[in-house]
């Protein structure tokens, strides 16, 4: 009896067997889905990489153990000791920590570019500059990057462009089609979507870059486990449906928060007064994502009162699950920045980041009202 499973089984094995030496040689010489050791490749992680590659319209992808290892892999595709890399000043705190604390120890020089200079890069490019790292939508201030324009600037300067597309997801934006060379995601977030996986992915516009990323993943041991690959592939199947609901709920809540007397400011690309609203609408295919930030009184006691009064929305320093959560950039994602750096980016004591889930929006609005009433 032949067995034809509708979904890929979990290949929870560290190693695969060979019939003889001929089979071993075939593994190394013949292209195709052959496996030897899960650090090198596994059907579950390959399936996930292939599906994300299709969504991002790339020429090859490799999944990694986390979003951080995806960032590391992408940068190492183009940079080595003695090189110089550029990074947008408005970036996830973990990304800046990786670049400033670890890659500099390996001999890679890093310079941060303010948003005002990102489209010209004048005065930032050196003879040994190799790449620019940006986010489609910045964390946590929700600045939307004009990827086509920044790609043109990179091409004019001979730089590679790496785009972290985690906040947007490939449902909203496909950076490779806008001129990026590599797109990365924390698969932990929207692609998996259920807060039960830690994973990353690197998708390349050129097959040679994807092959180099795979080599880095294998050599550094940045591989993803088969079970997490299977979980993430399962979550990926509902990505389009989830992103529609995340976006719809976030827009409703952003509009409501903007009218609340205890909210000083709301940062969401879907609001007409957002500086990049028109760009976000075009680049996001009419959707604006499920992430927003808002500012209440700039004192920790007000923030604590707000958090304690919530009964449904937890304080969880991550994002993009099917259930809504809040985070506190000053104390979590951007804790490593100096007070002056945070202040310059608008990351103040009263800033709260909201990852909007797919629950009934009235339930979410009622819980936020409870929290704000406690201030």
The string of DSSP letters for 267-285 reads E-TTSTTSTTHHHHHHHTT
- Percentage of the chain surpassing pLDDT 90? 89
Task: Pick the catalytic residue from 11, 78, 92, 328.
Answer: 92
Task: Pick the catalytic residue from 164, 205, 268, 342.
Answer: 164
- The domains located in the chain, with CATH, are 21-236 (3.40.640.10), 239-373 (3.90.1150.10)
Active site residue 164: yes
Residue 333 has pLDDT above 90, yes or no: no
Whether 74 and 213 have beta carbons less than 8 Å apart is answered as yes
Residue 286 has pLDDT above 70, yes or no: yes
Residue 371 has pLDDT above 80, yes or no: yes
CA nearest to 71, candidates 233, 216, 230, 231: 216
Active site residue 205: no
Residue 262 has pLDDT above 70, yes or no: yes
71 contact partners, CB below 8 Å, separation of at least 6: 94, 95, 98, 133, 164, 184, 200
Q: What is the pLDDT of residue 153?
A: 98
Residue 354 has pLDDT above 90, yes or no: yes
Task: Give the predicted TM-score (pTM) of the model.
Answer: 0.95
Cα 101 → chain centroid: 20
Task: Pick the catalytic residue from 11, 124, 130, 189.
Answer: 189
DSSP 70-82: HHHHHHHHH--TT
CA nearest to 119, candidates 138, 105, 132: 132
Band (pLDDT 50/70/90 cuts) for residue 1 is low
CA dihedral 46, 50, 56, 60 (to 10 degrees): 80
What is the per-residue pLDDT across 206-220, written as a single tens digit (0 to 9) for each? 999 999 999 999 999
Long-range contacts at 310-316 (CB < 8 A, ≥ 24 apart): 310/367, 310/368, 310/370, 310/371, 311/367, 311/370, 312/359, 312/363, 312/364, 312/367, 313/354, 313/364, 313/367, 313/368, 313/371, 316/195
């Amino acid at each position: 009896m032949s067995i034809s499973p509708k979904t890929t089984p979990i290949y929870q094995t560290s190693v695969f067997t060979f019939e003889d030496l001929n089979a071993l040689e075939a593994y190394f010489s013949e292209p195709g889905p052959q496996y030897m050791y899960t650090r090198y490749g596994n059907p579950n992680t390959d399936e996930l990489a292939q599906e994300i590659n299709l969504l991002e319209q790339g020429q090859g992808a490799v999944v990694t153990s986390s979003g951080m290892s995806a960032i590391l892999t992408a940068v190492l595709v183009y940079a080595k000791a003695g090189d110089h890399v550029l990074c947008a000043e408005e970036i996830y705190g973990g990304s800046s920590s990786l670049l400033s604390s670890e890659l500099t120890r390996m001999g890679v020089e890093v310079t941060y570019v303010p948003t005002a200079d990102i489209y010209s890069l004048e005065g930032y490019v050196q003879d040994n500059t190799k790449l620019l790292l940006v986010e489609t939508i910045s964390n946590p201030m929700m600045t939307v990057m004009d990827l086509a324009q920044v790609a043109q600037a990179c091409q004019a300067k001979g730089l590679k462009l790496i785009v972290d597309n985690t906040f947007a997801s490939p449902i909203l934006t496909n950076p490779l089609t806008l001129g990026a060379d590599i797109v990365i995601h924390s698969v932990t977030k929207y692609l998996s979507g259920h807060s039960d996986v830690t994973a990353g992915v690197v998708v390349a516009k050129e097959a040679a870059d994807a092959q180099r990323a795979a080599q880095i993943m294998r050599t550094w041991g940045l591989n993803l486990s088969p079970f997490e690959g299977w979980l993430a592939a399962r979550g990926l199947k509902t990505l389009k449906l989830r992103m529609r609901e995340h976006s719809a709920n976030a827009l409703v809540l952003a509009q409501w928060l903007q009218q609340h007397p205890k909210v000083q400011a709301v940062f969401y690309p879907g609001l007409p007064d957002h500086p990049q609203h028109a760009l976000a609408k075009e680049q996001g295919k009419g959707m604006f994502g499920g992430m927003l930030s808002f500012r209440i009184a700039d004192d920790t006691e007000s923030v604590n009162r707000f958090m304690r009064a919530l009964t449904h929305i937890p304080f969880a320093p991550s994002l993009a699950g099917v259930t809504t959560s809040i985070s506190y950039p000053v104390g979590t994602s951007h804790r490593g920045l100096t007070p002056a750096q945070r202040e310059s980016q608008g990351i103040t004591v009263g800033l709260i980041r909201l990852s909007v889930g797919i629950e009934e929006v009235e339930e979410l609005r009622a819980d936020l009202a409870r929290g704000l009433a406690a201030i």
